[in-house]
């Protein structure tokens, strides 16, 4: 055994680490040195560190179990500050210079963890203990027990700091996705690459080769790692092949879509500026080959979780690939031939192997190593690290063997995660004694290599090439079979053995602390179905999804129930295969970029005016425009309302949806969309329209302007712009495909402003080119037309009013919107023009009694809104029939009314319910509710809109407005909803 | 000439150009757009009228076509987006309507969109971070509808090293941010 440095006491010779590139790192504050090519796990192992973590429940000292992503024990926190990341498996953390790692789930230190007291009370903390022990008193659960349990539970800590790094996201397409770059995956990628298919080869490791990197046996006459290197070199120059190392394919989704995370910068201290730490890829594959290999399973025996007790294949990986051994003397415990290879490899590397303990009485001899055939390990010793194992020999005698590590193997399970993500059910293979993929794989998915049960290197290579050939032949490729080297082809030789009888504390699930005893308890309490077993014991629920534990626990349950393992069943896996960082899922969509923002054409101008903006969907709209000296929003809003009603105001209404409707049947189409009729609307006129859902409930209102016999422009509310367009497309394409009608959205194409107030016309006359007469006679209420403004700019003018004032909406191509706003404001100076925001807009429409989103709330009908007569009986329309349902047309149906506080100084709470002036306050006596409320500067009092049973017939009646949540009660009077200009004289002026 | 001074989608008087590594991301305002939708049963007539009057063969799904100053790409069944220089064709919709008459519904779309011309050798590396469209399978002359960062867009591959992106004009800043951020992450 040759040590690289005095510290790396467990470093062996050879391996795929670069001793010329030493790397410094820290673990729990202690400095160590490793090599380039190390993982945190291999570097710690080389430095003689066995204790790396504490278990979830009992806080048992734990070390490495595995060498890969299935690791349940060695979970650590990496990095510090905002980059701190909990629950990282040390086995997949690539070492870099300056890496700072810490153990977790312990206090005050890993060696002395106070919570290890739990282990003493193991008898009270068995499976399901909290279902039984915290039952009384009932009220204590939520306030006391659960918070305490939650505090004690959990593993690593989240940092409170924001993640400073960027994450990226993207989409890839391929003919063939190959998941896993072991012998099967490499053979598949090579076959497909040479056939000219678009191939993506992804592997979670930073080196390609998979198990080839861990095995000492050559492929023909070349080392496995070298062959992998050759294949990689050939693939790398193929333009049709994309290699993604450090990329975990974590989920198989519908239609051949796979999710993958590429770790771009987890192996360096910090990503370069602007570069992502990780990239989330959505991979669209026509076919996929799952070549994810196999995961070794442990054997359950007394105290089988001590640091130093590892899987035999993992010990071999550390020795061969990383040139590290967990101890200078390693005992083997197995039920199969494969683990014997670990003994041979360790021996070849100069590690002492005192004995191979094999449960099989007929286990084959290993030259130079003592074989204890038919023996079992019944106990281990060493609190913070293994010191010795106790073997019960075939003859019944026990023998204690001192050792620093134990390499165990209960056989191998095909790694099935991705084959189950579409609810594929694995099937039991009686020869392999393991579950293999069933026939119900996700569409387009093939499985190759050990993942499908082809356990030898040779079989893996060949199955990879075969599956690639099959998958691509399906796609029409001609696929010549590649020449593959002859490799190790030993048959699987294994006698099923799951746990040592009589063991009291024998771990099945290391991460979630589930023992054989817990499974027995579940059985005793009749939780025998696999899904019950899982939930009762928490088996397989941890971040490792029970990769090393599920089959063992099933075997124990099968034994207890007297059934076979396939009869007992298996749990299946869900995505993600390994944990995925939230940052990767979010990608670039963080902070204010969480969703796109929409800016109105006058946004820049409004910003210059100091406007306060409000989010309306993705839009940012000016809410009000504060003037110097205004300290409260109400001052600004009241002024905007008053100035508009007195003279003129301008509001950006571009956000309203605009849909261009053309075609010979455009009018008939709108007749179908709107409750009211549009067929007879003359060219050059606008009409208010109400749209119903198919169930007869009103959902949107707006206007349609007829620009030509076969041409309308429809406006919708801001919120429903997309919904109305979608519904129109549905009607056009599906309900009325014979109608000649064409649609396209023009919401963004036109900047549109409302110009409202008694001086609106005077202002516009300074803007509209003189050849267009917009006098009341030439351009009356509800007129519309195409005009030009400001010396020839094409524009559209609509004489419509939401405020109740003489008002217009004027539209120009969006690029001129900013300039038009500035021109209008300049032209309006003489009239003391004001811009107004959404608040003033809202106040004015309440004053006028116009319904908006608060009233079109998804429960109200045209009748409720006082628009019952708009639902034409003369024609059909969407929602017409169902709007006539009896229950929606009762005499005491809710009707829209206006409301005023009886005491004028009081303000009205929107959302409050209306009750009789005296009597009970409960749902049975509900008279209606308040939908909108505002202070009306025009009336000098609070006003509101609401729905009241019987509605307008009750004008003058007093009701109690109640808000039990806030303990509010006040008297209100039912009034007309039209507080301002009920006769509509202003808007026709 | 009227006195209204145009603003670019990004809110400036001059179009913005970003150069990030091998990429150039250029806000482009010099294109007029108009949608042309064939009326029921008039698709063949529209195609032939466009060929006769404008020399342009309206393309099939997924494709774009160009004839002189006029270009078009397919946007939905019997519907195309036509494009021409704004300077000479600001009234493109009217011009097309004049030749197509009742055979088609034509709608001005110029300012419905912001346009970014993205140029660079590693174009596909950039766009695979932005859109689920299979950009590597889009040779020059292709166009499709897709999404970028939740925004509906048109992608129009005008050259091996150039992709034209049309996005909703009101979200120009968000689209620009997405383009620039993705470019930085690989530049």
Residues of B in contact with A659 (CB under 8 A): none
CB within 8 Å: B110 and A820: no
Q: Is the pLDDT of residue A4 over 60?
A: no
pLDDT at A773: 98
Question: In the listed set B62, B89, B110, which residue is the last one of a domain according to the structure?
Answer: B110
Calculate how close chain B gets to A591, using CA atoms only, in Å.
13
Residue in the block written with tokens 């008053």: A642
Say which of B2, B35, B111 has its CB closest to residue A791. Answer: B2
**What b/e string do you get for A679-705 counting C-beta neighbours within 10 Å, with b at 16 or more?**
eebeeebbbebbbbbeebbbbbbbbbb
CB within 8 Å: B2 and A600: no
Query: Structure tokens of A751?
Result: 């900047």
Total domains present in chain B: 2
Q: Does B13 touch chain A (CB under 8 A)?
A: no
Residues B50 and B117 in one domain: no
Q: Does A412 touch chain B (CB under 8 A)?
A: no
Q: What is the pLDDT along chain B (187 residues), one digit of tens a residue?
A: 899 999 999 999 999 999 999 999 999 999 999 999 999 999 999 999 999 999 999 999 999 999 999 999 999 999 999 999 999 999 999 999 999 999 999 999 999 999 999 999 999 999 999 999 999 999 999 999 999 999 999 999 999 999 999 999 999 999 999 999 999 999 9
Residues B102 and B126 in one domain: no
Residues of A in contact with B8 (CB under 8 A): 815
Per DSSP, the three-state class of A441 is: coil
Task: Confirm whether B99 is domain-assigned.
Answer: yes
Calculate how close chain A gets to B144, using CA atoms only, in Å.
16
Reported as a single tens digit per residue, the pLDDT across A48-73 is 999 999 998 899 999 999 999 999 99
CB within 8 Å: B168 and A819: no
What's the mean pLDDT in A659-684? 97
CB within 8 Å: A171 and B111: no
Cis before A13 (ω within 30): no
3-class DSSP string for A38-103: CEHHHHHHHCCCCCCEECCCCCCEECCCCCCCCCCCCEEEECCHHHCEEEEEHHHCECCCCEEEEE
Residues B100 and B82 in one domain: yes
Cis before B59 (ω within 30): no
What's the mean pLDDT in A757-781? 98
Q: Is the pLDDT of residue A206 over 70?
A: yes
A-contacting residues in B 155-184 (Cβ below 8 Å): 168-175, 177-178, 181-182, 184
Q: Which residues pair with B113 in a beta bridge?
A: B168
Percent of chain A scoring above 90 in pLDDT: 90
Alpha carbons A46 and A72: distance in angstroms, whole number? 20
Residues B117 and B157 in one domain: yes
Enclosing H/E stretch for B90:
none
pLDDT at A6: 52
What's the mean pLDDT in A423-442? 95
Show the CA angle centred on residue A275, arms to residues A271 and A278, nearest 5°.
75
Residues B24 and B39 in one domain: no
Say which of B1, B102, B128 has its CB closest to residue A792. Answer: B1
Q: Does A788 touch chain B (CB under 8 A)?
A: yes
Q: Which residues pair with A744 in a beta bridge?
A: A660
Residues B121 and B95 in one domain: no
Q: Is the pLDDT of residue A871 over 80?
A: yes
Contacts of A280 (CB under 8 A, 6+ apart): A167, A168, A169, A170, A259, A260, A261, A262, A580, A584, A585, A587
Strands A309-311 and A405-409: parallel
Show the CA angle centred on residue A808, arms to residues A806 and A814, nearest 5°.
160
Q: Is the pLDDT of residue A726 over 50?
A: yes
Contacts of A367 (CB under 8 A, 6+ apart): none
Contact present, A960 and A901 (Cβ < 8 Å) = no
Alpha carbons A587 and A370: distance in angstroms, whole number? 55
Residues B57 and B73 in one domain: yes
Q: Does A161 touch chain B (CB under 8 A)?
A: no
- Assign residue B156 the CATH number of its domain: 3.30.1360.120
Task: Confirm whether B171 is domain-assigned.
Answer: yes
Query: Structure tokens of B3?
Result: 């006195």
Q: Which domain holds residue B171?
A: 17-29+112-186
Query: Structure tokens of A845?
Result: 């429409």
Show the CA angle centred on residue A448, arms to residues A444 and A454, nearest 5°.
150
Residues B98 and B143 in one domain: no
Residues of A in contact with B134 (CB under 8 A): 173, 284
Residues B35 and B106 in one domain: yes
Backbone angles phi, psi at A391, to 5 degrees: -110, 130
CA dihedral (A269, A271, A273, A276) in degrees, to 10, reads -160
**What b/e string do you get for A940-966 counting C-beta neighbours within 10 Å, with b at 16 or more?**
ebbbbbbbbbbbeebeebebbbbeeee
Contacts of A14 (CB under 8 A, 6+ apart): A320, A323, A349
CA-nearest residue to B178 within chain A is A588
Residues of B in contact with A619 (CB under 8 A): 170
What's the mean pLDDT in A294-307? 98
Residues of B in contact with A171 (CB under 8 A): 128-129, 131-133
Confidence grade of residue A3 (pLDDT, cut at 50, 70, 90): very low
Q: Does A818 touch chain B (CB under 8 A)?
A: yes
Q: Is the pLDDT of residue A116 over 90?
A: no
Contact present, A110 and A103 (Cβ < 8 Å) = yes
Task: Confirm whether B72 is domain-assigned.
Answer: yes
Q: Which residues pair with A284 in a beta bridge?
A: A173, A257
Q: Is the pLDDT of residue A402 over 50?
A: yes
CA dihedral (A712, A717, A718, A722) in degrees, to 10, reads -60
pLDDT at A330: 98
CB within 8 Å: A589 and B107: no
Q: Is the pLDDT of residue A5 over 50?
A: no
Q: Is the pLDDT of residue A792 over 90?
A: yes
Say how many Å lie between the first and final Cα of chain A, rounded: 102
Question: In the listed set B94, B110, B126, which residue is the last one of a domain according to the structure?
Answer: B110
Alpha carbons A741 and A726: distance in angstroms, whole number? 14
Task: Confirm whether B10 is domain-assigned.
Answer: no
Question: In the listed set B110, B138, B172, which residue is the last one of a domain according to the structure?
Answer: B110
A-contacting residues in B 107-126 (Cβ below 8 Å): 107-113
Q: Is A147 left (phi over 0), alpha (psi -120 to 50) or beta?
A: alpha
Alpha carbons A330 and A819: distance in angstroms, whole number? 82
Task: Confirm whether B1 is domain-assigned.
Answer: no
- Assign residue B82 the CATH number of its domain: 3.30.70.1520
CA distances from A476 to A63, A219, A285, A370, A470 (A): 50, 31, 15, 56, 10
What's the mean pLDDT in A917-922? 94
Contact present, A625 and A610 (Cβ < 8 Å) = yes
Strands A356-358 and A427-429: unpaired
Task: Confirm whether B24 is domain-assigned.
Answer: yes
Alpha carbons A93 and A83: distance in angstroms, whole number? 14
Task: Confirm whether B7 is domain-assigned.
Answer: no
Average pLDDT in chain A: 95
Reported as a single tens digit per residue, the pLDDT across A678-714 is 999 999 999 999 999 999 999 999 999 999 999 999 9
Q: Does B15 touch chain A (CB under 8 A)?
A: no
CA dihedral (A233, A237, A242, A245) in degrees, to 10, reads 30
Alpha carbons A154 and A418: distance in angstroms, whole number? 26
**Residue spans of beta strands (DSSP E) within A335-426:** 356-358, 371-373, 376-381, 388-392, 398-402, 405-409, 412-414
- Interface with B, mutate which of A586, A591, A748, A772 (most B CBs under 10 A): A748
Strands A294-296 and A388-392: unpaired
Residues of A in contact with B109 (CB under 8 A): 744, 746, 749
Q: What's the DSSP call for residue A300?
A: B
B-contacting residues in A 572-591 (Cβ below 8 Å): 588-589
Backbone angles phi, psi at A365, to 5 degrees: -70, 155
Q: What's the DSSP call for residue A731?
A: I
Alpha carbons A706 and A723: distance in angstroms, whole number? 22
Per DSSP, the three-state class of B174 is: helix
What's the mean pLDDT in A879-888? 94
Residues B168 and B118 in one domain: yes
Residues B97 and B35 in one domain: yes
**What b/e string do you get for A238-274 counting C-beta neighbours within 10 Å, with b at 16 or more?**
bebbbbbbbbbbbbbeeebbbbbbbbbbbeeeebeee
Task: Confirm whether B159 is domain-assigned.
Answer: yes
Residues B87 and B133 in one domain: no
Say which of A168, A812, A815 has its CB closest to residue B129. Answer: A168
B-contacting residues in A 819-848 (Cβ below 8 Å): 819-820, 823
Alpha carbons A263 and A457: distance in angstroms, whole number? 28
Reported as a single tens digit per residue, the pLDDT across A537-586 is 999 888 888 999 999 999 999 999 999 999 998 878 999 999 999 999 99
């Amino acid at each position: 055994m040759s040590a690289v440095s005095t510290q790396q006491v467990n470093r062996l010779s050879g391996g795929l680490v670069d001793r010329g590139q030493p790397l410094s790192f820290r673990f729990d504050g202690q400095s160590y040195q490793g090599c380039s090519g190390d993982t945190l796990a291999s570097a710690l192992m080389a430095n003689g560190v066995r204790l790396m973590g504490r278990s979830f429940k009992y806080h048992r000292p734990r070390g490495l179990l595995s060498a890969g992503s299935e690791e349940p024990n060695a979970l650590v926190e990496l990095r510090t500050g905002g980059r701190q990341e909990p629950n990282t498996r040390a086995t997949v953390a690539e070492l870099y210079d300056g890496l700072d790692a810490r153990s977790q789930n312990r206090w005050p230190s890993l060696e002395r963890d106070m919570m290890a007291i739990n282990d003493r009370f193991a008898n009270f903390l068995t499976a399901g203990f909290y279902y039984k022990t915290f039952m009384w008193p009932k009220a204590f659960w939520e306030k006391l027990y659960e918070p305490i349990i939650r505090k004690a539970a959990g593993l690593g800590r989240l940092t409170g700091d924001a993640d400073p790094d960027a994450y990226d996201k993207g989409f890839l397409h391929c003919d063939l996705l190959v998941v896993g770059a072991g012998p099967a995956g490499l053979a598949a990628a090579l076959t497909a690459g040479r056939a000219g298919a678009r191939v993506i080869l992804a592997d979670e490791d930073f080196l390609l080769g998979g198990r080839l990197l861990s095995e000492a046996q050559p492929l023909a006459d070349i080392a496995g790692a070298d062959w992998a290197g050759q294949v990689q070199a050939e693939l790398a120059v193929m333009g049709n092949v994309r290699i993604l190392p450090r990329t975990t394919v974590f989920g198989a989704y519908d239609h051949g879509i796979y999710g993958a995370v590429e770790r771009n910068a987890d192996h360096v201290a910090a990503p370069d500026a602007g570069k992502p730490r990780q990239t989330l890829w959505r991979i669209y594959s026509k076919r996929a080959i799952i070549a994810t290999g196999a995961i070794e399973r442990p054997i359950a025996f007394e105290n089988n979780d001590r640091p130093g007790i590892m899987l035999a294949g993992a010990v071999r990986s550390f020795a061969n690939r990383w040139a590290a051994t967990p101890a200078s003397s390693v005992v083997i415990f197995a039920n199969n031939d494969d683990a014997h290879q670990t003994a041979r490899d360790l021996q070849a590397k100069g590690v002492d192997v005192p004995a191979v303990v094999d449960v099989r009485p007929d286990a084959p001899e290993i030259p130079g190593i003592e074989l204890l055939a038919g023996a079992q390990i019944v106990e281990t010793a060493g609190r913070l690290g293994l010191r010795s194992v106790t073997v019960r020999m075939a003859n019944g005698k026990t023998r204690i063997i001192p050792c620093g590590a134990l390499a165990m193997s209960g056989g191998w399970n095909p790694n099935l995660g991705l084959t189950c993500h579409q609810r594929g059910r694995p099937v039991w293979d009686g020869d392999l004694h393991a579950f293999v993929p069933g026939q119900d794989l996700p569409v387009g998915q093939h499985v190759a290599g050990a993942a499908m049960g082809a356990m030898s290197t040779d079989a893996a290579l060949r199955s990879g090439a075969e599956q690639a050939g099959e998958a691509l032949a399906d796609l029409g490729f001609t696929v010549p079979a590649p020449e593959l080297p002859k490799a190790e082809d030993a048959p699987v030789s294994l006698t099923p053995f799951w746990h040592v009888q009589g063991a009291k504390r024998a771990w099945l699930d290391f991460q979630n602390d589930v023992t054989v005893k817990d499974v027995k308890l579940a059985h005793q309490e009749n939780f025998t179905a696999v899904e019950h077993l899982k939930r009762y014991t928490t088996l397989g629920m941890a971040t490792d999804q029970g990769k090393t534990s599920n089959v063992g626990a099933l075997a124990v349950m099968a034994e207890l129930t007297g059934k076979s393992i396939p009869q007992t069943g298996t749990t299946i896996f869900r995505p993600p295969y390994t944990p995925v960082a939230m940052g990767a899922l979010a990608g670039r969509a963080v902070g204010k970029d969480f969703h796109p923002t929409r800016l109105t054409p006058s946004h820049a101008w409004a910003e210059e005016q100091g406007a306060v903006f409000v989010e309306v969907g993705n839009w940012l709209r000016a809410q009000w425009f504060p003037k110097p000296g205004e300290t409260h929003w109400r001052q600004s809003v009241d002024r905007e309302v008053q100035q508009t009603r007195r003279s003129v105001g301008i509001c950006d209404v571009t956000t309203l949806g605009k849909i261009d409707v053309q075609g010979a049947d455009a009018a008939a189409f709108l007749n179908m969309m709107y409750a009211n009729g549009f067929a007879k609307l003359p060219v050059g006129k606008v009409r208010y329209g109400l749209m119903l859902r198919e169930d007869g409930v009103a959902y949107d209102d707006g206007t349609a302007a007829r620009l030509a016999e076969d041409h309308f422009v429809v406006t919708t509310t801001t919120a429903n712009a997309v919904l109305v367009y979608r519904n129109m497309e549905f009607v056009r394409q599906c309900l009325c495909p014979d109608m000649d009608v064409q649609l396209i959205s023009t919401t963004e194409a036109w900047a549109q402003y409302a110009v409202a107030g008694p001086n609106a016309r005077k202002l516009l006359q300074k803007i509209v080119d003189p050849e267009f007469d917009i006098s009341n006679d030439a351009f009356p209420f509800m007129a519309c037309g195409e005009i030009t403004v400001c010396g020839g700019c094409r524009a559209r003018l609509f004489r419509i009013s939401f405020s109740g004032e003489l008002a217009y909406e004027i539209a120009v191509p969006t690029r001129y919107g900013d300039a038009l706003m500035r021109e209008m404001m300049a032209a309006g100076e003489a009239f003391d023009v004001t811009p107004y925001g959404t608040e003033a807009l809202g106040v004015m429409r309440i004053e006028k009694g116009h319904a908006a989103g608060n009233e079109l709330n998804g429960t109200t009908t045209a009748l409720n809104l006082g628009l019952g007569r708009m639902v034409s009986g003369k024609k059909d329309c969407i929602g017409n029939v169902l709007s006539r349902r009896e229950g929606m047309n009762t005499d005491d149906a809710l009707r829209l009314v206006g409301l005023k506080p009886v005491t004028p100084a009081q303000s009205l709470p929107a959302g409050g319910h209306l009750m009789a002036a005296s009597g009970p306050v409960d749902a049975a006596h509900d008279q209606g509710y308040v939908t909108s409320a505002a202070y009306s500067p025009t009336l000098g009092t609070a006003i509101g809109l609401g729905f009241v049973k019987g509605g307008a017939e009750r004008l003058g009646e007093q009701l109690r407005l109640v808000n039990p949540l806030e303990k509010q009660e006040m008297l209100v009077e039912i009034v007309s909803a039209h507080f301002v200009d009920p006769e509509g004289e202003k808007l026709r002026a | 000439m009227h006195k209204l001074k145009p603003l670019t989608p990004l809110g400036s008087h001059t179009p913005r150009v970003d150069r990030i590594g091998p990429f150039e991301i250029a806000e482009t305002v010099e294109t007029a757009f108009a949608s042309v939708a064939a009326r029921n049963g008039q698709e063949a007539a529209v195609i032939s009228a466009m060929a006769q009057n404008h020399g342009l063969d309206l393309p099939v799904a997924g494709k774009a076509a160009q004839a002189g100053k006029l270009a078009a790409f397919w946007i939905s069944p019997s519907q195309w987006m036509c494009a021409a220089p704004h300077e000479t064709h600001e009234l493109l919709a009217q011009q097309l309507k004049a030749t197509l008459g009742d055979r088609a519904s034509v709608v001005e779309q110029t300012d419905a969109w912001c346009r970014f011309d993205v140029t660079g050798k590693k174009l596909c590396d950039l766009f695979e971070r932005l859109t689920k469209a299979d950009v590597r399978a889009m040779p020059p002359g292709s166009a499709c509808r897709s999404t970028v960062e939740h925004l509906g867009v048109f992608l129009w591959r005008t050259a091996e090293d150039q992709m034209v992106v049309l996005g909703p004009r009101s979200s120009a800043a968000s689209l620009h941010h997405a383009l620039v951020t993705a470019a930085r992450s690989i530049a």
